């Protein structure tokens, strides 16, 4: 279904994380090594990043494959950041939303990506959608499952829920309403990374220095990469990574 990655650390050019490593997100768009569902991530891509002194991230998104956008190579060469989130997309259901359906989604300081699919979409989660205020439901970024999951998570974040709790509760609500869903969520505010492992692969890397990377799969063969167990919540800063088990939905 998708591959995504988030980085916190010393400022680097986008390409140092997304293009240059031997198994970077760029290569994962056509040759992922650990993807469990789908084979080619060519239905759009995007990257969001933070500039010094500005808490609101910039984004660059396109509806086509990352390898087909020649301009992105130049952008990735010169733009530097200490925090980013990027994704390449394999659409669950073909749609007409174009780049609006490509992660990262954004609101305020937040960037978000969803690797997975909501089972029984859209009927299974109609009650969850109806629980959102009308203004938020009408403001969905796209007409797909990822956009609704983002709206549910964002509603909790705006209400003041702590990042990890907001992620855990969102996953439990969706998994309860739509059993069999794959809900690997990834979110950052430029200072923290939150992620869930629920039905697909998730890995993290720390160091050297104050650096944390969380990704669907390793972008190189560094032995310091660690796999996150399924049904796990991850919250990372530049110096720490905390893993916690996620609650299973009621039978």
Rounded to an integer, the average pLDDT of 149-164 is 98
Rounded to an integer, the average pLDDT of 172-192 is 98
pLDDT of residue 68: 95
Q: Taking 90 as the threshold, does the pLDDT of residue 251 lie above it?
A: no
Of the candidates 64, 18, 21, the residue with the CA atom closest to the CA atom of residue 40 = 64
pTM: 0.97
pLDDT of residue 95: 63
Separation of alpha carbons 83 and 251, rounded Å = 39
DSSP states along 41-85: --S-EEEEE--TT--SPEEEEESS-GGG-HHHHHHHHH-EEEEEE
What are the structural domains, with CATH classification, of the chain? 2-245 (3.60.20.10)
**97 has catalytic annotation:** no
ω into 208 cis (within 30 of 0) = yes
Separation of alpha carbons 173 and 202, rounded Å = 21
Rounded to an integer, the average pLDDT of 210-219 is 98
Residue with tokens 């439990």: 172
Please name the residues in contact with 147: beta carbons below 8 A apart, sequence gap of 6 or more.
Answer: 101, 105, 140, 141
What is the per-residue pLDDT across 12-59, written as a single tens digit (0 to 9) for each? Answer: 999 999 999 999 999 999 999 999 988 899 999 999 999 999 999 999
Strand order in the sheet with 182-188: 105-107, 110-117, 182-188, 193-197, 232-236, 241-245
Of the candidates 217, 158, 227, 167, the residue with the CA atom closest to the CA atom of residue 192 = 167
Work out the number of other CB atoms within 10 angstroms of the CB of residue 41.
Answer: 27
Token digits of residue 118: 């909501």
> Half-sphere exposure (CA, 13 Å, Cβ side) for 25?
30
Q: Directed axis angle between helix 163-177 and helix 145-158, to 10°? A: 140
The single residue of 1, 2, 111, 234 carrying the catalytic annotation is 2
Q: Taking 90 as the threshold, does the pLDDT of residue 66 lie above it?
A: yes
């Amino acid at each position: 279904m998708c591959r995504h990655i988030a980085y916190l650390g010393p400022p680097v050019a986008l390409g140092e994380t997304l293009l240059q490593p031997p198994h970077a997100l760029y290569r994962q768009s056509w040759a992922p090594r650990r993807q469990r569902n789908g084979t080619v991530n060519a239905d759009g891509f995007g990257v969001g990043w933070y500039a010094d002194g500005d808490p609101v991230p910039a984004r660059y998104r396109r509806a086509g494959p990352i390898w087909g956008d020649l301009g992105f190579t130049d952008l990735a060469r010169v733009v530097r950041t200490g925090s980013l989130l990027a994704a390449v997309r394999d659409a669950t259901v073909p749609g007409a939303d174009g780049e609006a359906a490509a992660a990262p989604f954004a609101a305020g300081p937040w960037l978000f990506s969803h690797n997975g699919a909501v089972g029984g979409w859209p009927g299974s989660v109609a009650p969850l959608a109806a629980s959102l205020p009308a203004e938020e439901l009408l403001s969905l970024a796209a007409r797909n499952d990822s956009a609704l999951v983002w709206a549910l998570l964002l509603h909790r974040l705006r209400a003041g829920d702590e990042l990890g709790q907001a992620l855990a509760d969102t996953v439990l609500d969706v998994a309860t309403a739509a059993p069999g869903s794959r809900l690997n969520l990834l979110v950052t505010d430029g200072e923290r990374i939150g992620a869930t492992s629920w039905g697909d692969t998730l890995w993290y890397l720390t160091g050297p220095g104050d650096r944390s990377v969380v990704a669907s799969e390793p972008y190189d063969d560094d032995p310091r990469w660690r796999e996150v167990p399924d049904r796990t919540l991850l919250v990372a800063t530049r110096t720490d990574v905390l893993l916690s088990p996620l609650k299973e939905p009621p039978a």
